[in-house]
Amino acid sequence: MDAKKTYEFWLADSYFDETTKEELRGIAGNEKEIEDRFYRDLEFGTGGLRGVIGAGTNRMNIYTVRKATQGLANFIRREGAQKKGVAIAFDSRNMSPEFAEEAAACFVANGIKAYIFPTLRPTPMLSFAVRELGCTAGIVVTASHNPPEYNGYKVYWEDGAQITFPKDKEIIGEVNAITDYAQVKTMPLQEAKKLELYQVIGSEIDEAYMQSLKKLVLHPEIVKEEAENLKIVYTPLHGTGNLPVRRILSELGFEKVYVVKEQELPDGNFPTVSYPNPEDPNAFSLALKLAKEVDADLILATDPDADRLGVYAKDSATGEYRSFTGNMSGMLILEYILSQRKAMEDLPENGAVVTTIVSGKMSKKIAEEYGVERIETLTGFKYIGEQIKFFEQNHEHVYLFGYEESYGCLVGTHARDKDAVVAVMALCEVAAWCKHQGMTLCDQMETLYRKYGYYKEGLFTMTLKGQEGLQKIQEMMERIRKEVPEQIAGLSVTQFRDYREDVLLDCVTKERRTTGLPKSNVLYFELEKDAWCCVRPSGTEPKIKFYVGVRGDDEKEAEEVLAVLTEGVKNLV
């Protein structure tokens, strides 16, 4: 059925409610809009759904949520795991509570117990709850840091991590097998709530989560001594982080925490920011203003579902606030964990640091310094969470820390996804330790650069919306794949990896072998002088992403090489 016929079907069929039909009548005659809403089903990808809220098969709405939930329910029943139940959480975005309740009603109608949080919670708390409650799966309704018009639906399995191969493909198969929305089982929410299969998650999960975090503090005595000396500005960017972040800081003794009032309360419209992403400097404008007023040491921002952390710190040399990338804040935490655990004679011989192929490479040097393994995965924290499961199964490594360049990390194994709440706690402990040594975070970052080299990374994206944009992105990837350059920006390509084709080419010896990672539409170039670049389509937005990284002997050299390499990568397309 083509887009126009599917549009007309939605208008005519009694299954779809009148509010949906009224929205669709409002686009009558707008052929481009009809095409965009109905040219495909919203793709249930390897992590779940992500899309613009609205009526249509290519939109996030109660019907696409129900269909995804029915597919997941069918898989759970096929696995014979329905008795263990599913945990459900949701964030502050528009329609998040409604989508979560629709999912719960669908699970109950399928005879599967639904544990649902009563109010919004961070994504990492869902990951924690899945394991704490012994559920077979979990979902969180969130679009993370996407623009306000988006929402999404992420699926987790019993280990607390997002679904990975082969379960992701099997669940996708079940979802795609539903060709008629009338196949979906559901029931009125009020009826579902009367049944034992519908259970609201109590405060005991919040308590257990907080206790798990506090056990991860390495030097409680230093935190206790220095907490009152640190001034911290915090913004939850209208998301889920406000209560858990303030609570953990308060319970550890950090009393001078100043919250950005304009961004304190949950609001799915995100009225003070155009893009609720702590990677975006514009998201910090109000926090920076408050920091200057109170003379803060540290500025922290969490994204709407509180799995990413953005950081600024005051540079005592200049008096200005300096931004930290996800790689930089990750390295501060990593160095602290490894150095302090070594000093405490608590560093396991088979310890491992896990990161992604597009994350910063300073961790290679830090891992070598402390004699721990460094393991790379595909992009996406679910692959880091999967490694924790493997470690528990084969006992080859002990998980020490995981991070990715996109402002996400995980200390501990209480969750199996990136956790901005524990990241706030860990970074504030690092800041307290630095203050105890007479340093700032900026001073410590400079120490790491001098010790390991000036690593700099960059990311730029191209946004290409709609069916035409998707086609252009695919054409770009194929052109680069077929025309592998010998040099990029004057730097020789020493190794090329095509993860979709599972090919690793040594450009010096011409030897070919497999990548050792799951197949994914990603192209990676290892360059001379510790430089690298990577190209991949976004899995959640209509974008193609270009990652670059370099190492210099000083900051000026690193920045110059990074600028040249960035221009060279742009020329690939």
Closest Cα to residue 266, out of 276, 274, 280, 256?
Answer: 276
Phi-psi region of 380 (alpha: psi -120 to 50; beta: other; left: phi over 0): left
Which of helix, strand or coil describes residue 552? strand
Secondary structure string (H, E, C) spanning 470-492:
HHHHHHHHHHHHHCCCCEECCEE
For the chain, the distance separating the N- and C-terminal CA atoms, rounded to the nearest angstrom, is 34
Residue 24 to residues 9, 21, 29, 52, 506, Cα–Cα distance (Å): 11, 5, 10, 15, 53
Residues 6+ apart with CB under 8 A from 439: 447
Q: What does the block give as tokens for 425?
A: 């706690």
In single-letter form, the type of residue at position 304 comes to P
Which of helix, strand or coil describes residue 542? coil
Residue with tokens 């190492």: 551
Cite the active site residues.
Answer: 144
Question: Which of 357-360's residues contact partners 24+ apart within 8 Å by CB, and which partners?
Answer: 357/517, 357/522, 357/524, 357/534, 358/404, 358/405, 358/534, 358/536, 358/547, 359/326, 359/327, 359/330, 359/403, 359/404, 359/405, 360/325, 360/327, 360/328, 360/330, 360/331, 360/405, 360/455, 360/457, 360/549
**Whether the Cβ atoms of residue 525 and residue 534 lie closer than 8 Å to each other:** yes
Residue 251: half-sphere exposure toward Cβ, Cα within 13 Å: 16
Q: What does the block give as tokens for 34?
A: 């009809």
Which of helix, strand or coil describes residue 127? helix
Q: What does the block give as tokens for 240?
A: 């889920």
Question: What is the rounded distance in angstroms from the CA atom of residue 518 to the CA atom of residue 102?
Answer: 33
The sign of the dihedral angle between the CA atoms of 359, 361, 366, 369 is positive
Closest Cα to residue 307, out of 405, 448, 417, 224?
Answer: 417
